[in-house]
Structure 1
Amino acid sequence: MPITPEHVGRTYPPAAPYIVSHAKIAEFAQALRDDNPAYFGDTPVAPPTFAAVIAAQAWEALFGDPELDLALNRTMHADQGFTYRRPSCRATPSWRPSASRRSATAATSTWSPSSSTSPSTARASARRARNSCTRGERPMPEFTVGQELPELRVPVTRSTVVRYSGASTDFNEIHFSDRHARAIGLPGVVAHGMWTMGAGLKVVTDAVGDPSRVLSYFVRFTRPVLVPDTDEGAEVIYSAKVTEIAEGVAKIAITATCGDEAVLGAARAEVSVV
């Protein structure tokens, strides 16, 4: 049976608590080709898009619902957003994921202990929590409106997408099998949209130093990144520009291209600058 408006509001039992280990954080960061020191060592902070790993535990119940007959390789991931109420540091060793029909159709996730929290309150809470996780990295740089951040070039090969499949637990065959990708009309293997999103945030976190300064992150997936079966693979080029600074928060617009084609749209992040 296809999804209908009658299914809106259906919820599923929470999955088991997810224990976040130092090794898992490092594995995920390496799959993103992100060497930020905050992701390694004795008190690591998880990359901001690590929240997708938690969400994947909840999706299992959703995609396993026989009434919906959903298949991951036939599901279009249109966009993704995260709002961070607190950093994922050692002080928060586990999360209990849950899923609902609403979250499945909205294609936007909010990682939050309270969905009713106002944006300004959430930002203040995130700043307080960040202070408990700070690693004392380099000082926050001075941002100005209109400032362009250093360009970032990230290679992606078949090995990259296989590694990300394992780190993220997203084993959709279109990310490592040409046969499965072509069966749904793709020219070949494509990178995970979440890899493209996660790898791109490095253009911001490299500038701010401390990933726990990220307060929110949103992208639209406009075009998949085709990953040819060659040693070179493909290359995604990211750039970013500060568009607004107010109340201690900098808003940053991000662009991502591969082969002169935009692969992310409306990508933006908010970071604490105080």
Structure 2
Amino acid sequence: MMFRDRGIEIKTREQILSMRAAGLVVGRTLELLRGEVRAGITTGELDAIAEDNIRSSGATPSFKGYHGFTGSICASVNDEIVHGIPGGRVLADGDLISIDCGAIVDGWHGDAAITVAVGEVEPELLELARICEESMWRGFAAAKLGGRLTDISAAVESHVRANSSYGIVEDFVGHGIGSAMHQPPNVPNFGKPGRGPKLVEGLALAVEPMLTLGKQDNHTLEDDWTVVTNDGKAAAHTEHTFTVTPQGPWVLTALDGGEAKLGELGIQYGALAD
């Protein structure tokens, strides 16, 4: 392992493969939770399912105990943007829940998030979640070796602006990831292209747009974790961990490595052979 350019961690091929193992645990856990989301289940029950699946996979939850956080997932419902603490909240038909999950395998992290509709949801909420996810994939598609970090940021913002008037949350951004869950560099979801660190082999990033149906202004509740919109309007959050290889982007927390979604955008994905 070597470090260069503002303390950014550059991983070896073997370390990236360990991150892929962690990413698969996260991806499978989120797909399990997607299937469990329904009216009547509590966010605490979802958290217990997640922790059991992570640990039974031979991994450790990244979030549990992180700066005192009590859950293995973040469960953010409706106007909660991010960092919702799982507990006794009962999901209801029409809710929108963002689930963020992290796992550690052999000291290496994976981090991803999905937004899921609970039962019959208003079309405007489904559209919010759709644009949020699409913008993330546009960010990956813009990532090329030798490019710059804000090429990702600009692609995310451009897709959101071209398709909606949603707020793009600026207070919370993506991040480097590897031997720790949060590392330099920050990965904003807005900005001009061609700036920031170069995208090089061995760099791993978590890209995570957070969009709001209204304004992006927000505040943190008294629990010191849960971030909500000031106007009470809904939010969506999508995230994947990825790296760039000579063949293209490789989405470490996507079960297929991002092959299908990147293919739809005409981008070859860059999985490394085990």
Provide the TM-score with structure 1 as the length reference. 0.27
Q: Point out the structure with max Rg over C-alpha.
A: 1
Give the structure with the larger helix fraction. 1
